Amino acid sequence: MPELKRKLKANNLNRFFLKHQSPFRRRYGSFDISNKCDMYALTIRLESLNGVKRAKVNNKARTFTLYSDGLWNVESLEKELLKIDFKSFENSSKTIKNKLNTNEPDMSGLLRSFTALALTPMSTNDNIKFAISAFGSIPLLAKGIDDLIKNGLTSKVLEAMAVGVSLARKDYTAANSTNALLELGEYIEETTTQKSDELIRELGKPNVDKVWVEETIEGKKVLKQIPSHSVKVGNIVVVGDGETVAIDGHVVAGIAMINQASMTGESEPIKKERGDRIMSGVIVKEGQIKIWAEQVGDNTATARIKHYILSSLEEKSAIGLKASKLADKLVPVTLGLSALSYLVTQNMQNVASVLQADYSCALRLATPVAFKSAIAQAGKNGILVKGAKVLEALMNADTFIFDKTGTLTYGELEVISVTSFDENWSKEDILNLTASTEEHYFHPVAEAVVKAAKKLGFIHMHHEEVEFIVAHGVKTVVSDKDVTIGSRHFLEDDERISFKEHENKIDKSLKEGKTILYVGYDGKLLGMIEMFDKIRENAKSIIGRLRTLGIKKIVMLTGDIDSRAKAIGEELGIDEVHANMLPQSKAKIINELKSRGSKVVFVGDGINDAPALMSADVGISMFKGADITKATADISLMKDDIEALAQIKALANRAIDRIHKNFNATVGVNSAILLGASTGIFTPITTAVLHNSTTISLLFNSMKKLKME
């Protein structure tokens, strides 16, 4: 106590004290943790501490437990704990709602009931037996009375009645056995539910507390550590060995090997260097990189994951609602059957047996656990699903609609040819000139040009300061002559560069569906760089797999010219192609298909795809999709591979199939148990064993890993 008082005086706001420790585990108590504590939010905060691998909060016991892979730096850990205001995590409109089971399963009921079961046979006095049995059963009986008052007839009421009837009959063995089995079943249910919640919670990676940013002070570049929530768009964030990336952006300097397993499911580290995109939540395994912050705070990938997690727990599927409603309806049936059994047999043992066997537990628990497990499994494979309803809708889908760019194609332009209109300039020289000017920018055209130049042995050309004109292009000076690079409108209309001599070549490239970057030098059209958005190598095979998974129709929508769109459609085996599409036209086609009874999935990545994503039964955003696309979508891919589309469709099919089988098994098995109990074939103990075994086996079945191939 003196040590506790000393700590309380030192820190009246944040009261915590060590209750137990081991080399890799420390459990603390805190008077500021109450029943109102938002355990999920506090757990996330604790897991952001340096050295903490995992955290658990028990608001009932007012404790939190921290786990580590290595030995603790206790002084550093407790300094960080002193900064946490535990009271601020009490539930309010500003905190994350407590939707996850972060409490340790309670073993007190299990110990009490089995103690009563063990002690009762040791006494020959009925009064002592009753006292011991009542001690073991009072919590269960109290829950039943409370549930009856608040909710009417429920499974808890039936369980309490079953034990109460056995106590009234002085069948203490049956009462204690039933109570012990119910407590064992409840403990396993809590453990199973907690495990499924932990699987989902693992996807919500904790925020990085602090980051290093590069600043220029008096002409010198210095590193400064700031809170991660203070990072702004445009900051240069420096991340080194073992550190977690806190923002989304582009690498501007350095080379590093990145572990992306937490975000994409990829086990092998990959190399990231200048120009590469990088997500928050990934870990630098080796090296150091500087990242230009593009998305910060609530706009980062990890923040979106947390949003998806919470959304997934709020949504209830039609199947889940059906299970809950059926469970409620069957409680009076069980009660009525017990009354009928007594009228026919005049045997209270049969009544006690019937009351053991209700449908509610298995129906209510197995379905949400199966959905949570499937959602968690998808998340571990880099696919974020916004709720059980989405999986159900995806299983029922029969039509897939693709926006071409960024889905069936990579969404990345690739230089396929360079044309020179000046015999004094080679194709390589034009490419080097353009890359030298464009290398400071990260738009897709610039990235494609720089990448192509590097393949050919990029030779940098000295130039003056580059002027970037939004939506037009860039301007600079090389060898005292103006260089203008960009769109035709920019060069021809704004810079007065003539295109007349080269119209035929330009028209031919445009008809072939190529994207053209024009290069002007000294007031003349120097050349053009032709680019193409490459079709994904596995696009055709994935379309074939979707058909085997129940998709009857594949549609492609694109803003491309008709000839190019049809050529891609034929190559990939697409049923229906729509070219020259506008954003509102895409949504219109989706609504027309839905009006004819189709269940539509739309896959897109651009800002202009948001209306279509909202119109579809299921909207899927690609990895490189715009923020509004990811916010609008029901499913968001965290890896740039359309194989994920077939994986999530297969997972949805198997998850719903498992739920239907669980549902049928629950009704069938419990009906057989009820029949046996009501006719006197099963004793109360036998009924309790069979009923709880069924529930537990269905829960474990719901937790099994599903195939995604």
Q: Is residue 687 part of a domain?
A: no
Where on the phi/psi map is residue 495: left (φ > 0), alpha (ψ -120 to 50), or beta?
A: alpha
Same structural domain, 292 and 221: yes
Residue where one domain finishes, among candidates 494, 510, 534: 534
Residue 320: pLDDT over 60: no
CATH number of the domain at 52, please: 3.30.70
pLDDT of residue 101: 47
**How many beta carbons lie within 10 A of that of residue 125, not counting itself?**
8
Structural domain ending residue among the three candidates 40, 65, 89: 89
Q: Which residues of 556-589 are buried (b: 16+ CB within 10 A; e: fewer)?
A: bbbbbeeebbeebbeebebeebbbebebeebbeb
Structure-block tokens of residue 345: 């047999």
Domain for residue 588, yes or no?
yes
CA–CA separation, 542 vs 544, rounded Å?
5
Q: Is residue 442's pLDDT more than 70?
A: no
What is the number of helices (H) and of strands (E) in the chain? 24, 24
pLDDT-derived band at 324 (thresholds 50, 70, 90) equals low
Q: Which residue do the tokens 């999935």 mark?
A: 601
Backbone angles phi and psi of 124, in degrees to 5: -105, -5
Overall number of domains in the chain? 4
Q: Is pTM, for the whole model, over 0.75?
A: no
Q: 549 and 524, same structural domain?
A: no
d(CA 229, CA 250): 19
pLDDT in tens, 479-499: 999 999 998 889 999 899 999
How far apart (Å, rounded) are the C-alpha atoms in residues 389 and 401?
A: 20
Residues contacting 574, CB < 8 A, separation 6+: 402, 543, 554, 555, 556, 568
CB 450 within 8 A of CB 438: yes
User: What average pLDDT does this structure show over 380-384?
Assistant: 83
Asked if residues 579 and 558 have their Cβ atoms less than 8 Å apart, the reply is yes
**Which of 466, 505, 477, 473 lies closest to 492 in space, CA to CA?**
473
Query: Are 428 and 521 within one domain?
Result: yes
- The pLDDT score that the predictor gives to residue 561 is 72
Name the residue with higher pLDDT: 429 or 196.
429
> What value does the mean pLDDT take over residues 407-421?
88
pLDDT in tens, 557-572: 987 777 778 888 999 9
Q: Are residue 559 and residue 483 in the same domain, yes or no? A: no
Q: Is residue 659 part of a domain?
A: no
Residue 354, pLDDT above cutoff 80: no
Range of the domain at 466: 412-534
Comparison of pLDDT for 102 and 403, the residue scoring more:
403
Q: How far is CA 195 from CA 200, 253, 607, 654, 702, in A?
A: 9, 41, 37, 20, 12
pLDDT digits (tens, 9 = 90+) for 268-297: 577 888 888 887 877 887 788 999 988 887
What's the rounded Cα separation, in Å, for the pair 32 and 16? 8
Task: Determine, yes or no, domain membership for 347.
Answer: no
Region 225-236: mean pLDDT is 85
Please check whether residues 578 and 495 belong to one and the same domain.
Answer: no
pLDDT of residue 92: 41
Element (H, E) at 416: strand 409-420
CATH number of the domain where residue 278 is located: 2.70.150.10
Residue predicted with more confidence, 400 or 412:
400
Last residue within a domain, chosen from 482, 509, 534: 534
d(CA 252, CA 235): 11
CATH number for 578: 3.40.50.1000
pLDDT for the residue 620? 93
Per-range mean pLDDT, top range of 298-307, 451-460, 577-586: 451-460
pLDDT at 305 over 60: no
User: What tokens does 117 get?
Assistant: 């079961």
Question: Is 45 inside a domain boundary?
Answer: yes
Residues 455 and 592 grouped into a single domain: no
With a pLDDT cut of 90, the percent of the chain lying above it is 22
Res. 417 pLDDT band, cuts 50 70 90: very high
Phi and psi of 102, rounded to 5°? -105, -5
Q: In what order do the strands lie in the sheet with 25-29?
A: 17-22, 25-29, 63-67, 54-58
Radius of gyration of the CA atoms of the chain, in A: 32
Q: How confident is the model at residue 345 (pLDDT cuts 50, 70, 90)?
A: confident
Distances (CA, A) of 189 to 85, 101, 143, 362, 674: 33, 12, 17, 10, 22
Model pLDDT for residues 45-87, shown as the tens digit of each residue: 787 777 787 788 887 778 899 988 677 888 888 888 888 888 7
For residue 691, being part of any structural domain is answered with: no
Q: What is the average pLDDT across 185-208?
A: 59
- pLDDT tens readout for residues 15-31: 788 888 887 889 898 88
More confident residue, 351 or 554: 554
Nearest by Cα to 269 from 286, 288, 255: 286
- The answer on 379 and 434 residing in a single domain is no
The fraction of the chain above a pLDDT of 70, given in percent, is: 82
| β-bridge pairing 553-557 and 399-403 | parallel
Query: Where residue 198 falls among pLDDT bands split at 50, 70, 90?
Result: low
Encode pLDDT of 512-564 as tens digits: 778 899 999 999 999 999 988 888 999 999 999 999 999 999 999 987 777 77
Q: Assess whether pLDDT exceeds 60 at residue 313.
A: no
CATH number at residue 513: 3.40.1110.10
Domain match, 402 and 423 both: no
Q: What is the pLDDT of residue 218?
A: 77
Cβ-based neighbours of 632, under 8 Å, separated by 6 or more: 610, 613, 614, 619, 621
Instruction: Flag whether 342 is in a domain.
Output: no
Asked, for residue 11, whether it belongs to a domain, the answer is yes
User: In terms of domains, do 70 and 40 share one?
Assistant: yes
Q: Are 67 and 25 within one domain?
A: yes
Q: How many Å apart are CA 558 and CA 583, to the nearest integer?
A: 10
223 dihedral zone (left: phi>0; alpha: psi -120 to 50; beta): beta
Q: Residue 361 pLDDT > 50, yes or no? A: yes
Highest mean pLDDT among 27-41, 121-135, 485-499: 485-499
Distance (Å, rounded) from C-alpha 648 to C-alpha 628? 22
Residues whose CB is less than 8 angstroms from the CB of residue 138 and which lie 6 or more positions away in sequence, other chains included: none
Asked whether residue 220 falls in the same domain as residue 282, the answer is yes
**Is the Cα torsion angle 477, 481, 485, 489 positive or negative in sign?**
positive
Q: What is the pLDDT of residues 587-628, one digit of tens each?
A: 889 999 999 999 999 998 866 677 788 889 999 988 877 655
575 and 634 part of one domain? yes
Confidence of residue 629 (pLDDT cuts 50, 70, 90): low
| Token pair for 252 | 């501007």
